[in-house]
Amino acid sequence: MDLLQPENDHLSSPAALISDRVLINGVITPLTLTADGELQWTESGRRKSTTEKEILSFVVEGNKVRVKTLVERRGGSICCGGSGGDYARKDFVFEPLYDESRKLWCDKLRQHLLSLGRPKRLLVFVNPFGGKKTARKIFVEEVKPLFDDADVQLEIQETKYQLHAKEMVRSMDLSIYDGIVCVSGDGVLVEVVNGLLERPDWRTALKLPIGMVPAGSGNGMIKSLLDPVGLSCCATSATVSIIRGHRRSLDVATISQGTTKFFSVLMLAWGLVADIDIESEKFRWMGSARFDVYGLQRIICLRQYNGRILFVPAPGFESYGQPASYKVDKESSVSDTTLGYRGPDTNLEDMEWREIKGPFVSVWLHNVPWGAENTLAAPNAKFSDGFLDLIVMKDCPKLALLSLMTKLSDGTHVQSPYESYLKVKAFVLEPGARIDEADKEGIIDSDGEVLARGRRSYKCDEMALMSYGKLQITVDQGLATLFSPE
């Protein structure tokens, strides 16, 4: 077998894993696999290459080796949940000249792909009820074929009711999986995180990375992951990010009311934003457009709420609000491995608290930049900085508010003099009634779900996890793990 030595071939490098002459399109040409996972060759007098991140897997077809690749392409942006996106399938086929050479190529390619630590078995939740109810179609047509090409084994579970995913991950054996994937909006992600945190082995469980594929109304988390690296928010880009196996940490906020707790990874809203988010659910068939349509209605009939917020500002934001003191509820507890995660062990009473009193149009806390695929709510939010971004609006003329709505897509709304935008380490919400109708209260929304319903609010007769009263929010830095494009 005529193996090329690195020093004898201009395409090779000292770090080449293998270099040999092969047939490419019927022409004998040198081919090299570098230590960086790049395949290099010459075709029609032009040097070509396939990078490590483009390679999904390979398969032997008779005497030939087919390397399955996904090539990055640039073009128009595709909205969340749509087809197409930033990648196109384009395989590379070569034929080693000898059986021994083919076996060696396969061994080197297999060893290198295994060394990348990519996921090989995933638990996939598909939510057929979210958004425009397209998750099943998106999974079958766009997601599963890519996982198949990457030789990733899948265990697929369609969610059948609310909290189904949470119930499953809370009790099942997770040791056989390399990650969990949510083909949905943000709701199933929130269920999965809460389920993991309620496990006795939550510390180990939270190391399991979670991946998002956009198939719902909001898609704020996956938009926040893909947008900073210039990728469109679509199923293909999201799936490729999972296949490549890169990970990043994510802050988790613990929302407490007495002994009741909810773990949030996206946002908490009260006032205008919460009213739009929850009351617009009657227009779910419209997809993400429901927020714009109902938002206009809510601005025309603008509400304000009495109440008070307290917060511990991040460094550099100490000028916001007025000095205040805060006494922690005695019922709040800290970590207990027998009961699952109980929130960060933080001495809140020793912190420097500030307060802002109402009335308020809106109070909005964000953990990541994007609240939905077209809403850059908190442009300075970071995934694991240990802080929540707080956006407060006390009052705003309706025309100015309509103008601000148009700026949500690029995040410039936070520059408005009608909004206060800061970072906080801890937060307390004391919600009150509407100023125009004292017998009507509001809705507290966390991660797209109702956390509390006040008197005579939308669907106030339905049960909620918490009562419409004081809530305490603390942040645990980098507690959860996500699949990430980089």
Which positions are catalytic?
Answer: 186
Contact present, 432 and 307 (Cβ < 8 Å): yes
- The DSSP secondary structure of 21-64, one letter per residue, reads EEEETTEEEEEEEETTS-EEEEETTEEEEE-GGGEEEEEEETTE
Q: Which residues contact 236 (CB under 8 A, 6 or more apart)?
A: 83, 84, 85, 86, 87, 142, 146
**How many other C-beta atoms can be found within 10 angstroms of the C-beta atom of residue 320?**
17
**Backbone phi, psi, residue 256, to 5°:** -120, 140
**Backbone phi, psi, residue 38, to 5°:** -100, 130
Amino acid identity of residue 248, one-letter, is R
Contact present, 213 and 139 (Cβ < 8 Å): yes
Say how far apart CA 163 and CA 341 lie, in whole Å. Answer: 18
Cα angle: 169, vertex 172, 175; to 5 degrees: 100
Decide the pairing of beta strands 419-434 and 305-313.
antiparallel
Instruction: Estimate to the nearest angstrom the gap between the alpha carbon of 20 and the chain centroid.
Output: 42
Q: Which residues contact 238 (CB under 8 A, 6 or more apart)?
A: 211, 212, 213, 214, 222, 225, 226
